[in-house]
Structure 1
Amino acid sequence: MTNNVDHQLKVSHSKDESSRQNFVQGMRSYILNDLSGYMRTVWDKKTEPNFIKSKGCSPIDGPEIHRTIKNETIFKFYSSMRCNAQEMVWRSVIPGIEREREDLAQRAKILSQSGLTAKGTVSSYADFKVPQYTSELDVHLMPGNYHEEHIDYDVTQGAIYDNGLSVFSFGLLGDRMEDITNSVSTFFKARYPDIQPTKILDLGCTLGHSTLPWKARYPDSEVHGIDVGGPCVRYAHARAQSYGVESHFHQMDAELTEFADNSFDIVYSCMFLHEVPLKHIKGIFKEAYRILKPGGIMLHYELPPNSRTSNYDGFYLDWDSYYNKEPFYKAFRDADVKSECDAAGFKDRSFFEHVAPSINLYGKDALLDAARNDESNKNSNVGRFGDGVMWYFFGAQK
């Protein structure tokens, strides 16, 4: 069953809509587990041996695998099914959200302005300029992307992302879709117990599912989230209010924030950088360096770089760059993130990278054991939505 939204912005989907969501969820699970597994079998037993017979060697990288396998029927079928399933994710949740659009906006406004359940703030601007690399795309094939607005105090795009992510992740992200940040923040706190942040910033926070777990790890900290989507930050704050978590959300560009120098102890992002062109990632790193306190930590949980994966896994993960409206995905995964951290000014030799086992799948004890021993770095399921998922993250110190 789909993990339906459980806070006060919950949408009342009809029985037909809920059934459709459950079907799409099951279909995505089949595509990403069974069908992708069959595609790998075809590659191992047919396509690669034929390539080796013809060329005298294996493909040198993911792009060569892509060029070779895309002529196979299984790849065409897999890609067609996956693209259609992705579009069906959004189509399965949009009708109920559009039906309640005005009511959702009113509920969000009441929650954000009440101050009854939690303190916190939210700011968004009608004249905010959304970066072109976001405004010209429907990332993840999501209609309207993160920023489209229809009415006053609109939260439609936040609601679409929240409800859609529940279908998209087929339970792997937990009840509140917070597994990635729960896993990484728990791992980080166990791995670096001497770091006690008092002010934390989430870049590209969308609906706040990557923001609130840091408040749970460090209850005395002041937690902020920024996003270029006005509907997202309004939704995120109302969601946080509904859960009773004090947090602050701002409509800002991560490359051009309005925070003072030396403001934060931790600046991080969750599955954000791969949606940004590399030249702007460089700017984001420099901005993070500016607003971090001396000794502060920048960290990003992301897809593992191609240098950390096999050629086949590189091909598999880069699929989204070609077919899922994420055109900057592969360039990010090809980048040398350590060099980019160094270029932004971070301390020489302060770079770190880890892999956190999913706390939702493996449990807290296994996660803490991995944090203490850090023996989880070699795993073929890193970043993949499937059995045994792991979460990769990297960072550096100012």
Structure 2
Amino acid sequence: MTAPARPQLPVLPQTGRAGLQFLGDLQVYSSTALKDAAKAQFYADEEMAALGDQPMGDRQPEELEAIVAKATEKAEAIPAHRFNRLYQRVVAEGVYDRGIPAAEEKRAEYEASIEDDPGNHPKAGTLTIDPDFKEPAYTSDVEWHLMPGGWDGFDLSMLMFMSGVMPYIFRKGGYAAVDVGADIFAQRLTVLEQLPKDREYKRIYECGSGGTPTLGMLRQKFPDAELVGADLSAAMQQGGHKMDRKMGFGVHLKQEDCRNTSEPDGHYDAVVAYAVFHETPDDVCRDIMAEMFRILAPGGTMLISDPGPFRALTPYQAVLYDWEGDNREEPYFSASIRRNLPQIMREVGFENAREYGVGNGNYPWVTLGQKPVSEGA
């Protein structure tokens, strides 16, 4: 499986490029040598050795909380672990400290590189921005992933990521739940392969699309489907629409809250949520799930991919995941890994709700459910 072709973007200035390359190497070092040393010392502890380097399983929530609290205490006593976390924070901040000034130097070239080009592709996408849209309270004060101003804080963020952060940092892996050397494009495609093969997909809706990263891959798989992506961020959707015009994905992007969409009942054969629910509080998670159930056609599938829950994690992984919430501006991350998404799916009406890992272990982690074919099914 290969990623969709990308437009040719300007090369970042040497100083910005070198800074991002250094951060990528620091991230790899942090997630190999330091992490391996910390993990070895962690499981050398008698209590942690008894638990073992294996998923904690379906224990009671109180027991899981106690294990994670004790595991965190043990890990934080290990110097290699503390340096590992320090360097992860340095990289997370440095992405913007280095990337934004470098992108600004290339602003004119960036903007020229993705000028609208509607004549070269047979498919025509659309963009709908709501001038009266009010950002929900749960996101309004969050600078996601430490990005100054949040998702809409820097208008060239998408291009900065594509030309700098992605090749020099993200492609190397070693951050959050992504292992060093993991191909995040292949991972996303692998997740999409989990859609059941025994039905036709004429219409697919993506909740929290953030532009076109997943929609472009869906276009590869479903060349004739109607693809719609919704997101709270106007800037992300505007950037995605420019990319769509350049690449000819032919997708329809909207700025809307996935708790209350403009979609008709039973309209979609599938809904997809990639790396969305870990950025929502519990009540929002449930409300989105219920709205996705409403817009799905009978028999339709909801596909979710997010970092796995505590019960799927080893004790040391749980420590690393729990750190993300307080230290990488992910205020709902810790709550999300304590959820039972299949249970929430069942409570809002889905059937055959299940979860599993599709990689080497527990990431990527997938949750699937179907809308019953008929009422009371």
What range is the shorter-chain TM-score in? Answer: 0.7 to 0.9
| Counterpart pick for 1:245 among 240, 244, 249 | 249
Does structure 2 retain, via aligned residues, the 8 Å contact 1:147–1:230?
Answer: yes
1:139: Cα distance to partner?
1.2
- The alpha-carbon deviation at position 158 of structure 1 amounts to 2.8
Task: Give, in angstroms, the shift of residue 183 of structure 1.
Answer: 1.3
SS of alignment partner, residue 351 of structure 1 = strand
- Give the total of aligned pairs: 349
State the secondary structure of the residue aligned to 1:210.
helix
Q: Give a deviation string over 1:48-100, Cα, whole Å, max 9, x none.
A: 57999xxxxx9942232113322332332222111011111222221132234
Residue equivalent to 1:26: 25
Letter in 2 for 1:354: Y
2:128 alignment partner in structure 1: 123
1:170 aligns with 2:171: yes
Contact 1:141 1:325 (8 Å CA) reproduced: yes
For structure 2, the 5+ residue unaligned runs are 52-63, 372-377
- Give SS of 1:395's match: strand
* 2:192 maps to 1:185: yes
* Change in CA separation of 1:303 and 1:208 when aligned onto 2, cut-off 3 Å: same
Residue 149 of structure 2 is aligned to residue 144 of structure 1: yes
Aligned-residue identity in percent: 20
- Show the counterpart of 2:61: none
Counterpart in the other structure of 1:55: none
Equivalent-residue separation in structure 1 for 2:254 and 2:339 (angstroms): 29
- CA distance in structure 2 between the aligned counterparts of 1:231 and 1:88, rounded to whole angstroms: 22
- SS, match of residue 213 in structure 2: coil
Contact 1:90 1:160 in 2 (8 A): no
1:267–1:297: 8 Å Cα contact kept in structure 2? yes
Q: Which amino acid aligns with 2:289?
A: F
CA distance, structure 2, for counterparts of residue 96 and residue 17 of structure 1: 5
Structure showing greater relative contact order (alpha-carbon pairs closer than 8 Å, 6 or more residues apart): 2
> What does the per-residue CA deviation read over 1:204-254, in whole Å, with 9 as the maximum and x for residues that have no partner?
111321221111111121111111111111111221232222111111111
Shift of 1:26: 1.4
* Corresponding position of 1:35: 34
Give the match's secondary structure for 1:352: strand
User: 1:15-34 deviations in whole A, cap 9, x for unaligned?
Assistant: 22222222211111111222
**Cα deviations across residues 26-48 of structure 1 (Å, max 9, x unaligned)?**
11111122211111112122585
Q: Distance in 1 between matches of 2:15 and 2:109?
A: 21
Shift of residue 119 of structure 1?
1.0
Give the distance between the partners of 2:182 and 2:355, measured in 1 at CA.
Answer: 27
> Which residue of the other structure, out of 352, 355, 358, is the alignment partner of 1:356?
358
In the alignment, is the contact (CA less than 8 A) between 2:171 and 2:184 conserved in 1?
Answer: no
Residue 352 of structure 1 deviates from its aligned partner by 2.3
- Counterpart residue type for residue 24 of structure 1: L
Change (3 A) 1:137 1:253: same
- Correspondent of 1:235 among 205, 217, 239: 239
State how far apart, in whole Å, the 2-side matches of 1:101 and 1:278 are.
39
Distance of 1:294 and 1:50 partners within structure 2: 48
Aligned to 1:373: none
Write the distance in 2 (CA, Å) between the matches of 1:346 and 1:175: 32
Correspondence 1:68 to 2:74: yes
* 1:392 is the counterpart of 2:365: yes
Residue by residue, what CA displacement relative to the aligned partner does 1:169-225 show, whole Å, maximum 9, x if unpaired? 234599995333211123x25xx3212211111111113212211111111211111
Measured on the aligned residues, the alpha-carbon RMSD in Å equals 2.9
1:157 matched to 2:161? The reply is no
Q: Is the 8 A contact 2:268 2:296 kept in 1?
A: yes
Alpha-carbon distance in 2 for matches of 1:97, 1:59: 42
TM-score (norm 1): 0.79
Q: C-alpha separation between the residues in 1 aligned to 2:131 and 2:145? A: 24
Amino acid at match of 2:236: C
1:278 counterpart (275, 279, 282): 282
Which 5+ residue runs of structure 1 have no aligned equivalent?
53-57, 150-154, 358-375, 384-390
Contact persistence 1:11–1:97 (CA under 8 A): no
CA distance 1:70–1:38, change in 2 (3 Å) = same
Query: Tell me, what secondary structure is at the counterpart of 2:299?
Result: strand
Are the aligned partners of 2:10 and 2:113 in contact in 1 as well (CA < 8 Å)? no
Gap change, CA 1:291 and 1:68, over 3 Å in 2: same
TM-score of the superposed pair, with normalisation by structure 2: 0.83
Conservation of the 8 A alpha-carbon contact between 2:38 and 2:75: no
What amino acid is the match of 1:7?
A: P
Cα distance between partner residues in 2 of 1:234 and 1:183: 27
In the aligned structure 2, how far is the partner of 1:280 from the partner of 1:126?
Answer: 23
Contact 2:42/2:78 (<8 A) preserved: no
Contact 2:272 2:303 in 1 (8 A): yes
1:303 is displaced (CA, Å) by: 0.7
Aligned to 1:318, the other structure's residue is in SS state helix
Q: Establish whether residue 80 from structure 1 lines up as the match of residue 86 from structure 2.
A: yes
Q: Residues 347-398 of structure 1: CA distance to partner in whole angstroms, max 9, x if unpaired?
A: 3xx11223223xxxxxxxxxxxxxxxxxx7xx2xx33xxxxxxx11111111
